[in-house]
Amino acid sequence: MTVHLVGAGPGDPELLTLRAARLLAQAEVVVHDRLVSPLILGHAAGARLIDVGKSPGEPSGSQQSINTLLVDLGRHGIETVRLKGGDPFVFGRGGEEAEALAAAGVSYTVVPGVSAALAAPMMGGAPVTHRGMSRSVAIVTGHDERGELSAVDWPGLFEASDSLVILMGAAQFGSIARQLIEAGADPDTAVLAVTRAGWESQEDTRFRLSDAEHQKLQAPTTILVGPVAQLDFRCPDPPVGYPG
């Protein structure tokens, strides 16, 4: 028996990996985040579901309490899946949970997931890299553990990369955009915000950096900043009668 730290992907159930689906089907307990689709949880029909999700501005369990829960389940020999949106190790605190399990002598595995950092912009039609436009991409969280603006060098980060992907930055993006513009970023820089990527209710919003403070973005939103954000490679609807 072991604890599996599993990435659920950005939301679309069809982006769940085969290994993740198999482990969910075998699980006795699934400890999941709030951003995991109910359709994905449906793979764990025989498991007890424990919701430990954190919602912005609302009381929630601490990371320490989640670590303790996973260690307790593992020590009792319960086949457990810790299911996290996206990838466990991309701002998912999977590393902290792995450290806690290792320190307690509990065996665990890590199952990568499709990160929203790459998938969400694509679902909105934009690549994070594109020949002649973007040869580098930086991925950063928009807020810290207290929900405040992440203390990173925003102008320096923007200067060092062609594309900037911001996770968990919906509430702080107006402040981030202002810092970038004050540091010399072109106010006309393209921005793509993808909300609830991979869900039926997905929303894509395109605007310029100068308009950021007028946007009302809701979590969960992935934000792409840079020339590639103006691209839209979504396949148009096929004509009526198209056999595909």
What CATH number does the domain containing 178 carry?
A: 3.30.950.10
User: What is the per-residue pLDDT for 241?
Assistant: 52
Q: Tell whether 121 and 90 lie within a shared domain.
A: no
Could you give the number of structural domains in the chain? 2
User: What is the per-residue pLDDT for 67?
Assistant: 97
Please tell me what DSSP assigns to residue 236. Answer: P
Instruction: Pick the closest to residue 113 from 222, 220, 9 (CA basis).
Output: 9
User: What is the per-residue pLDDT for 240?
Assistant: 57
Q: Tell whether 221 and 192 lie within a shared domain.
A: yes
Instruction: Pick the closest to residue 135 from 161, 100, 158 (CA basis).
Output: 161
Count of other CB atoms within 10 angstroms of residue 168: 21
User: What is the per-residue pLDDT for 244?
Assistant: 44
d(CA 231, CA 244): 25
Among 85, 111, 137, give the residue marking a domain's end: 111
Handedness of CA 172, 174, 179, 181 (dihedral sign): positive
User: What is the per-residue pLDDT for 231?
Assistant: 96
User: What is the per-residue pLDDT for 242?
Assistant: 45
Q: Tell whether 135 and 222 lie within a shared domain.
A: yes
Residue 137 maps to a domain: yes
Strand partners, 134: 130
d(CA 126, CA 119): 10
d(CA 185, CA 46): 52
Q: Tell whether 23 and 91 lie within a shared domain.
A: yes
Residues 6+ apart with CB under 8 A from 58: none
Residue 240 maps to a domain: no
User: What is the per-residue pLDDT for 111?
Assistant: 98
Instruction: Pick the closest to residue 180 from 167, 195, 168, 164 (CA basis).
Output: 164
Q: Tell whether 60 and 123 lie within a shared domain.
A: no
Per DSSP, the residues of 135-190 read S-EEEEESB-TTSSBP-S-HHHHHHH-SEEEEES-TTTHHHHHHHHHHTT--TT-E
Q: Tell whether 100 and 7 lie within a shared domain.
A: yes
Which residues are tagged catalytic?
33, 54, 168
Per-residue pLDDT for the chain (244 aa), expressed as one digit of tens each?
689 999 999 989 999 999 999 999 999 999 999 889 899 999 999 999 999 986 555 555 689 999 999 999 999 999 999 999 999 999 989 999 999 999 999 999 999 999 999 999 999 999 999 999 999 999 999 887 776 777 888 888 888 999 999 999 999 999 999 999 998 899 999 999 999 998 889 999 999 999 999 999 999 999 999 999 999 998 776 555 544 4
Q: Tell whether 178 and 88 lie within a shared domain.
A: no
Q: Tell whether 95 and 121 lie within a shared domain.
A: no
Please report, for the domain that includes residue 98, its CATH number.
3.40.1010.10
Q: Tell whether 122 and 218 lie within a shared domain.
A: yes
Q: Tell whether 105 and 129 lie within a shared domain.
A: no
Exposure of 36 in the CB half-sphere (CA atoms within 13 A): 30
Residue 196 maps to a domain: yes
Instruction: Pick the closest to residue 212 from 174, 184, 186 (CA basis).
Output: 174
Among 96, 111, 126, give the residue marking a domain's end: 111
> Which amino acid is it at 101?
L
| Domain region containing 66 | 3-111
> Which amino acid is it at 144?
D
Instruction: Pick the closest to residue 199 from 37, 54, 86 (CA basis).
Output: 37
Among 92, 111, 130, give the residue marking a domain's end: 111
Question: Has this prediction a pTM greater than 0.85?
Answer: yes
